Structure 1
Amino acid sequence: MSEVDLGSLNAAIGRAVARHRVRSGLTQEQLGQELGLRDEAISRLERGVVMPSVAKLVELADIFDCNVADLMTEGSSRSSDQAKHLGQLLGKLNGDDRTMVLELVERLTGRLTRR
């Protein structure tokens, strides 16, 4: 992987960690305590300055009750990863809400592809 790719991966994982932390109602300090890290380390991780080790990714997934792969793919620019993430988000909705979101996505993609 090139440095640009690693930087993008760091940033994507950082954004995913931040989203999961906020959803979990944790502060950076609280997450740091659970991981045995200082809140400054959590801030650097969330900003994509540092890449968490595989062991830390596993710990994060346990804390957030998600898969390690979720932390790595939520912010991915690969369309297959994005589709998987959308599928997970849609799976949380009832049938009517899912239909509404799909209709919105179809309209948006139609409009954007005509540009």
Structure 2
Amino acid sequence: MAEKKPDPLAVSVGKAIAARRQEAGLTQDQVAGKLDIGNEAVSRMERGLVMPTVARLLELASLFHCDASALLVESSNRPAEQAQHLAQMLARLDSADREMVLAMVEQLTSRLAKRT
């Protein structure tokens, strides 16, 4: 029997969950234990095979010390939400590093815009 192709949104949310878990310094086993679910359930969410419920997203956000919306914003393909995600990442950097990242982004966007 052919395996169902993962939903792109579920894959994006899964990547955000995995990134936040790693930032929190937790393993999949630790997350599973804290949520009282199996390790395979965490793995399936992170791989985008299962879309977590709203209740589960809230639990994950609490565990990772972030807003549940952050898990969704990080997975959005909408420019406004992507900008919000970039702003959150930039906020973690000092002034000099933010300037460096912005210069790199400006160069990339300029170059890529010329190709279209």
**Structure 1 runs, 4 residues or longer, greater than 6 Å off:** none
Match of 2:43 in 1: 43
Q: Which residue of 2 aligns with 1:70?
A: 70
Residue identity in the other structure for 2:49: V
Residue correspondence of structure 1 range 13-32 to structure 2 within 5 A: 13-32=13-32
Rounded to whole Å, the distance in 2 between the matches of 1:26 and 1:92 is 20
Query: What's the TM-score, normalizing by structure 2?
Result: 0.91
Q: Report 1:70-89 matches (<5 A).
A: 70-89=70-89
Report the CA distance between 1:95 and its aligned residue. Answer: 1.1
Number of residue-to-residue matches in the alignment = 111
In 1, distance between residues paired with 2:34 and 2:13?
18
Show structure 1 runs of 5+ residues with no match: none
The one-character-per-residue Cα deviations of 1:35-80 (angstroms, maximum 9, x if unpaired) are: 1111000010001111111111111011000010000110211111
In structure 1, distance between residues paired with 2:107 and 2:100 = 11
How high is the TM-score relative to the length of structure 1?
0.91
Identity %: 47
Aligned residues: CA RMSD: 1.4
Which residue of structure 2 lines up, in the alignment, with residue 61 of structure 1? Answer: 61
